[in-house]
């Protein structure tokens, strides 16, 4: 049974317009949404026809390009008819935007000049975007031959390694008066460290130096022992110092000690059973991969590896042996580039190579690498790790392939050396090998000689100075060559175009002006309770006080310089200008004999009596006559009296 709602009839619901009903409900929902604060939700997002927008933009760009082009044609029409003929014409484009393939091939942007229409067929896929080329521009026909010539010259320079040697400029660092026997550059090339026979280690900061080229720190880490080798670790935070004593030291970047290797017991026969070296060190180097491991070799006949975290004992000990199995002294040592091999050059002329983890037997061995009895001074691996270069005491430089270690690949002779640490190095591109030569005093100049690695021909040389070239270092990052000489100089060769940073940072800085001596200014004494008449005025500025003292003739009086030559102005130069020196000089010149003082006084008595000058003329008129006691006649009887009866005076 259907019930009818009170107050409403069914006809009322049936007669209601559905459109009006929906509109009323939407309006009520909108009012409710506005009251609750989310009236903006639920609106439909606007839709954009991207193809239509792109098409409209393309047409607008073409129309503007045509207008600009027509304006340029009108301006250039009055110059020459030839230029007017060369003016670019607008390119016709298709209007059909429904075809996707056609729209991709259409030109976007300004039209293309006529000179480039021939190349459009080849490069149809590359559309030009941007303003049109100016009239008269020849496109790719401009100096094509010159570009090819430049490329050929560039290729020739790349093929010729001599062109990459940075030797157009140089700076000289004065280390001291004795030989510079060690050089080291940190991996970044910011700091240079030099060591010499004068026991000093000097630190040079390229970024902090000016044109005066002064070291910012000088230390003597090993007291009275010559510095034989210096090297930065791979991280550049510590420095290995190898000197003439038996203990290597590790310093930080500022020269403060970090570690000192222990000294071994010299009375133990087997050197592997003692904790450190027992004789003078010869060389040392860091591991190329492990930052805390380094190696040293010594006259005790061992090569030892060390760990920076353990200063109690060595890590491993390698013992080179001669052909007869006897102990032989290693004079130089190095790691391979990958750090897996340990190589040592020995006094018997041999080169012995071990596996880093196996210290018993050698992995590679060459007995006759250099003449017996000559000390090999340097071993170094090429950057690719295939070639080993050795600098011998027999005035030779040799390269070896460790895969065929019986005979050398190349040999260079006549390279005189007088130092046990003369070294060699490879160029950063691995195409050149560099070493130095030694000379006797006043018998020529020491040279830096460059050899081609493949042909081993001498391709270049540099006259360094009139002394021996002891150390050489070619930094791969800076592309600069550092050289240590026998007369205490450290030279840096660089090229402003080929090199980077390093020495170029300090040569552009002007020398700092020396400040005026501040000894003219007196110390200011603070007296708060002094009377105003005795109180000193407070100094506001040192500079102002210096200017006032400079105007004061008394304070700014220049002292007289010491007299040189025969003397002048009453001052004697030979013995100084002081009163004491003058008196000492006169005393030394007085040859009179004053051994008898009475005779020395009475020798002037006759002259004083005959020619009185001081006392007698003053009393000549009033001087009384001198009355002397008369001598009495002696009583003979009194003389005969006994002594006890005589009068006692």
Strand order across the 293-298 sheet: 281-286, 293-298, 303-307, 316-318
Q: Is the pLDDT of residue 581 over 80?
A: no
d(CA 232, CA 183): 10
What is the average per-residue pLDDT within 559-570?
67
How many of the other CB atoms lie within 10 Å of CB of 204?
A: 23
d(CA 618, CA 612): 10
d(CA 352, CA 341): 10
Compare 613 and 307 and report the one with higher pLDDT: 307
CA angle 293–294–298, rounded 5-degree value = 145
Look up residue 142 and give its two tokens.
């401009």
- Paired residues of 240 in beta bridges: 231, 250
CB 567 within 8 A of CB 578: no
Q: How confident is the model at residue 586 (pLDDT cuts 50, 70, 90)?
A: confident
Look up residue 33 and give its two tokens.
């949404």
What sign does the CA torsion over 359, 365, 368, 369 have? negative
- Render pLDDT for 291-305 as a digit per residue (tens, 0 to 9): 899 999 999 999 999
Q: Is the pLDDT of residue 174 over 50?
A: yes
CB 203 within 8 A of CB 215: yes
What sign does the CA torsion over 352, 353, 359, 362 have? negative
d(CA 207, CA 175): 18
How many of the other CB atoms lie within 10 Å of CB of 84?
A: 14
What sign does the CA torsion over 25, 31, 32, 37 have? positive
**Number of Cα atoms under 13 Å in the Cβ half of residue 266:** 8
Residue 120: CB partners within 8 Å, gap ≥ 6? 112
CB 133 within 8 A of CB 139: yes
CB 450 within 8 A of CB 415: no
Q: Kind of pairing, strands 217-219 and 227-232?
A: unpaired
Q: Is the pLDDT of residue 580 over 80?
A: no
d(CA 480, CA 590): 68
CA angle 386–367–181, rounded 5-degree value = 70
Residue 441: predicted pLDDT:
85
d(CA 458, CA 239): 34
Residue 123: predicted pLDDT:
46
Q: How confident is the model at residue 158 (pLDDT cuts 50, 70, 90)?
A: low
Residue 454: CB partners within 8 Å, gap ≥ 6? 431
Residue 318 burial by CB count (10 A; 0-12/13-18/19+): exposed, middle or buried?
buried
Look up residue 25 and give its two tokens.
């409900």
CB 377 within 8 A of CB 423: yes
Mean pLDDT score of the chain: 78
Q: Kind of pairing, strands 364-366 and 351-355?
A: antiparallel
d(CA 361, CA 318): 9
How many of the other CB atoms lie within 10 Å of CB of 64?
A: 12
Backbone angles phi and psi of 74, in degrees to 5: -65, -35
d(CA 617, CA 594): 29
Q: Is the pLDDT of residue 557 over 70?
A: yes
Q: How confident is the model at residue 245 (pLDDT cuts 50, 70, 90)?
A: very high
d(CA 398, CA 350): 13
Q: Is the pLDDT of residue 483 over 90?
A: yes
- Render pLDDT for 336-353 as a digit per residue (tens, 0 to 9): 999 899 999 999 889 999
- pTM metric for this prediction: 0.58
d(CA 105, CA 93): 10
Q: How would you classify residue 130: left for phi > 0, otherwise alpha for psi between -120 and 50, otherwise beta?
A: left
For every residue of 481-517, which 3-state class applies, written as one string? EEEEECCCEEEEEECCCCCCCCCHHHHCCCCCCCCCC
Which residues in 422-434 are b (16+ Cβ under 10 Å) and which e? Answer: bbbbbbeeebbbb
- Render pLDDT for 14-53 as a digit per residue (tens, 0 to 9): 444 444 454 455 555 556 656 565 555 555 556 777 888 8
- Render pLDDT for 408-467 as a digit per residue (tens, 0 to 9): 999 999 899 999 889 999 999 889 999 999 998 888 888 999 999 888 899 999 998 889
Which helix or strand (DSSP H or E) is residue 77 part of? Answer: helix 50-77
């Amino acid at each position: 049974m259907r019930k009818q709602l009170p107050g409403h009839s069914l006809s009322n619901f049936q007669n209601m317009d559905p459109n009006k009903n929906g509109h009323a409900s939407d309006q009520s929902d909108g009012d409710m949404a506005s009251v609750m604060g989310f009236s903006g939700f639920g609106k439909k997002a606007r839709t954009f026809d991207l193809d239509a927008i792109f098409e409209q933009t393309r047409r607008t760009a073409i129309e503007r390009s045509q207008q600009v082009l027509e304006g340029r044609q009108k301006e250039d029409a009055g110059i020459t008819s030839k230029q007017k003929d060369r003016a670019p014409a607008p390119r016709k484009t298709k209007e059909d935007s429904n075809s996707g393939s056609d729209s991709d091939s259409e030109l976007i942007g300004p039209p293309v000049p006529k000179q480039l229409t021939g190349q459009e067929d080849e490069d149809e896929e590359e559309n030009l975007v941007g303003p049109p080329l100016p009239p008269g521009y020849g496109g790719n026909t401009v100096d094509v031959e010159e570009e090819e010539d430049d490329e050929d010259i560039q290729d020739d320079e790349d093929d010729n390694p001599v062109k990459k040697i940075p030797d157009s400029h140089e700076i000289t660092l004065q280390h001291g008066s004795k030989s510079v026997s060690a050089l080291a550059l940190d991996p970044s090339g910011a700091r240079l460290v030099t060591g010499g026979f004068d026991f000093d280690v000097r630190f040079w900061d390229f970024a902090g130096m000016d044109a005066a080229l002064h070291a910012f720190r000088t230390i003597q880490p090993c007291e009275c022992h010559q510095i034989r080798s210096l090297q930065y670790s791979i991280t550049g935070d510590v420095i290995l110092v190898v000197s003439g004593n038996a203990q290597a030291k590790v310093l930080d970047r500022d020269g403060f000690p970090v570690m000192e290797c222990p000294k071994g017991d010299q009375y133990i026969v087997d050197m592997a059973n003692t904790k450190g070296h027992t004789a003078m060190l010869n060389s040392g180097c860091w591991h190329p991969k492990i930052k805390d491991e380094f190696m040293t070799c010594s006259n005790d006949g061992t090569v030892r590896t060390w760990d920076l975290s353990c200063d109690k004992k060595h890590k491993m000990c390698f013992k080179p042996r001669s052909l007869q199995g006897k102990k032989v002294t290693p004079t130089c040592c190095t790691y391979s580039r990958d750090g897996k091999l340990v190589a040592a050059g020995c006094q018997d002329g041999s080169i012995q190579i071990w596996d880093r983890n196996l210290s018993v037997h050698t992995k590679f061995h060459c007995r006759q690498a250099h003449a017996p009895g000559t000390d090999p001074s340097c071993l170094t691996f090429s950057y690719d790790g295939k070639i080993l270069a050795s600098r011998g005491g027999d005035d030779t430089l040799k390269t070896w392939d460790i895969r065929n270690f019986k005979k050398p690949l190349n040999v260079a002779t006549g390279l005189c050396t007088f130092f046990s640490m003369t070294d060699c190095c490879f160029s950063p591109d691995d195409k050149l090998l560099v070493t130095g030569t030694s000379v006797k005093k006043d018998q020529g100049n020491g040279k830096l000689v460059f050899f081609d690695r493949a042909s081993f021909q001498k391709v270049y040389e540099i006259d360094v100075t009139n002394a021996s070239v002891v150390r050489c270092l070619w930094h791969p990052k800076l592309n600069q060559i550092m050289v240590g000489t026998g007369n205490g100089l450290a030279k840096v060769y660089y090229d402003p175009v080929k090199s980077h940073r390093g020495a170029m940072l300090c040569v552009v800085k002007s020398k700092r002006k020396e400040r005026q001596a501040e000894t003219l200014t007196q110390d200011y004494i603070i007296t708060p309770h002094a009377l105003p008449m005795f109180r000193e005025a407070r100094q506001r500025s040192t500079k102002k006080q210096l200017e006032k003292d400079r105007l004061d003739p008394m304070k700014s009086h220049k002292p007289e310089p010491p007299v040189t030559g025969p003397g002048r102005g009453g001052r004697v130069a030979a013995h100084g200008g002081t009163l004491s020196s003058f008196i000492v000089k006169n005393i030394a010149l007085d040859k009179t004999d004053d051994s008898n003082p009475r005779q020395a006084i009475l020798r002037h008595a006759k002259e004083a009596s005959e020619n009185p000058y001081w006392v007698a003329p003053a009393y000549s008129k009033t001087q009384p006559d001198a009355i002397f006691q008369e001598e009495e006649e002696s009583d003979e009887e009194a003389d005969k009296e006994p002594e006890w009866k005589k009068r006692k005076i």
